[in-house]
Each structure stands twice: as structure tokens, then as C-alpha cells.
């Protein structure tokens, strides 16, 4: 399939992606971006994250952790963010490579010990490990899919963020 004659592959606007890549190549400063979210507490363990002009995304804890189960909790959202980022990576990079994706599912799971979060002992309050299983249905060759997989995992912003130590500054105002 020739990408010069098609405007979309995998529902991705090829011209938009190519245009952004071109702008960043010509003016590298365009690639340095800052992203924002604003979170408002709504009582108990419920909060809402507002991002750009979208409706607020609700966060809550399951009833078993004392919440009202009004939405996914923050660690579930983090797993979802990784899966979503990888899905974007597969769609973008497959499109650039001319690979048609028939179906894509990213399953993400992580192990978390609640002892530290609940103040019962010192230690790691975060995930001990995160596992990702990618199910990709395509007519591409095994070699093409392996190249795609390597490209996606080596360029995932969320994957990179989670796999290295990132300075986090939390100020109280």
C-alpha cells in the first residue's frame, strides 16, 4: 500500500503525522513540549483530573479500599496510560511503515503491595513490576512486527518515564 496515495492508514492521518515530524525536524524547539493536568478533590477518595478541554476524568478507589468505586484509581490509570501510549506508538509506527493493523489489544498488569501506602511498614509504595502483553493482528511478516515492536518500545514516552528514575518535585502551596 502506497502512503503517497492514501491519506489514512490504521485511521491515522498520515499527512498530520508527517507534518509534525517535518516541523520538528526543521525547528527542534517545536518538539520540546509541556503537558498539564489539574486535579480537584471531590471528597473521600474521589477526585477529577481536567486535561485540556476534555470532561474531567473521575478517579476513585474501589470499595474494598474504602472508596466509592466511581472510577479507576490512580494506579489503574497509570497502567492505562502505559497501554494507551503503546497503542498510539503501534498505530503511528505501523502507519509510517505501511503496516495495516487489523486488531490491537494491550493488556497491562502490575503488582503493588499496599503495606507502605497504608503506613503499615516502610518500603516501596509503588509497583514492584509491570507486565505488558501486546496482541497484534496484522498481515505483516513476523520480522516486520518484531521491528515495529522494537521501535514502539524504544520510543514510548510513558514507557520511558516508568522505566527510569524521573525527578518529581511536589510543592505545598
For 128-149, how does the pLDDT look when each residue is reduced to its tens digit (9 = 90+)? 999 999 999 999 999 999 999 9
Query: What whole-number distance in Å separates Cα of residue 42 and Cα of residue 57?
Result: 12
Q: What are the pLDDT digits (tens) for 82-92?
A: 999 999 999 99
User: In sequence order, which residues have a C-beta less than 8 Å from that of residue 128 and are 6 or more positions away?
Assistant: 110, 111, 112, 113
Note whether 69 and 63 are within 8 A (CB). Answer: yes
* Distance between CA atoms of residues 82 and 132, nearest Å: 9
Q: What pLDDT shows up at residue 2?
A: 40
In tens, the pLDDT along 48-64 reads 999 999 999 999 999 99
Amino acid at each position: 500500500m502506497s502512503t503517497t496515495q492514501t491519506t489514512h492508514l490504521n485511521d491515522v492521518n498520515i499527512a498530520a503525522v508527517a507534518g509534525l515530524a517535518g516541523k520538528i525536524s526543521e525547528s527542534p524547539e517545536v518538539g520540546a513540549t509541556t503537558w498539564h493536568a489539574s486535579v480537584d478533590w471531590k471528597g473521600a477518595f474521589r477526585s477529577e483530573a481536567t486535561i485540556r478541554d476534555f470532561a474531567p476524568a473521575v478517579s476513585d478507589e474501589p470499595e474494598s479500599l474504602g472508596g466509592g468505586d466511581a472510577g479507576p484509581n490512580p494506579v489503574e490509570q497509570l497502567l492505562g496510560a502505559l497501554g494507551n501510549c503503546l497503542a498510539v506508538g503501534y498505530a503511528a509506527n505501523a502507519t509510517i511503515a505501511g503496516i495495516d493493523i487489523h486488531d490491537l489489544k494491550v493488556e497491562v498488569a502490575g503488582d503493588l503491595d499496599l503495606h507502605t501506602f497504608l503506613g503499615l511498614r516502610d518500603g516501596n509504595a509503588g509497583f514492584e513490576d509491570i507486565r505488558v502483553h501486546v496482541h497484534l493482528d496484522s498481515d505483516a511478516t513476523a520480522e516486520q512486527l518484531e521491528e515495529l515492536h522494537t521501535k514502539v518500545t524504544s520510543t514510548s514516552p510513558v514507557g520511558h518515564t516508568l522505566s527510569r528514575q524521573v525527578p518529581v518535585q511536589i510543592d505545598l502551596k
